[in-house]
Amino acid sequence: GKHRIVIPCLGHFKEEYEKVSKLYMDNKIRTTRYTLFSFLPRNLFEQFHRVANLYFLFLVVLNWVPLVEAFQKEITMLPLLGVLTIIAVKDGLEDYSRYKMDKQINNLVTKVYSR
């Protein structure tokens, strides 16, 4: 069936190596959850899976109804925004430390033994 072609990256084989190597995944370690562009939407999606955050969101939405308004609209948003911000900063810092660790591991010197 299927077989793998290994071409050394030497001299005149370089073009063929680059063409064939695009077909295979690299062996870099990636343990981060987010990218720079997916951080905000994905983090908010994960945070609103928590029941407490949904409860505070419900209170904010309910307070925008004039008949039910208990506090000023901005005051009910403060606890939710505070919690969301603190958790987002914590998740961002954790993910950045994972990124730095992955980068350190991926840049380690590797010995390759051949016959």
- C-alpha 39/C-alpha 21 separation (Å) is 30
Question: What pLDDT does residue 10 have?
Answer: 60
- Model confidence pLDDT, tens digit, residues 48-88: 999 989 998 998 888 888 787 777 778 888 889 999 999 99
- C-alpha 48/C-alpha 51 separation (Å) is 7
Distance of CA 88 to the CA centre of its chain: 12
Distance of CA 47 to the CA centre of its chain: 14
Q: Output the CA–CA distances (angstroms, integers) from residue 84 to 28, 61, 64, 74, in the order listed.
A: 32, 16, 19, 15
- Model confidence pLDDT, tens digit, residues 22-33: 777 777 888 999
pTM over 0.75: no
Place 37 in a pLDDT band, splitting at 50, 70 and 90. very high
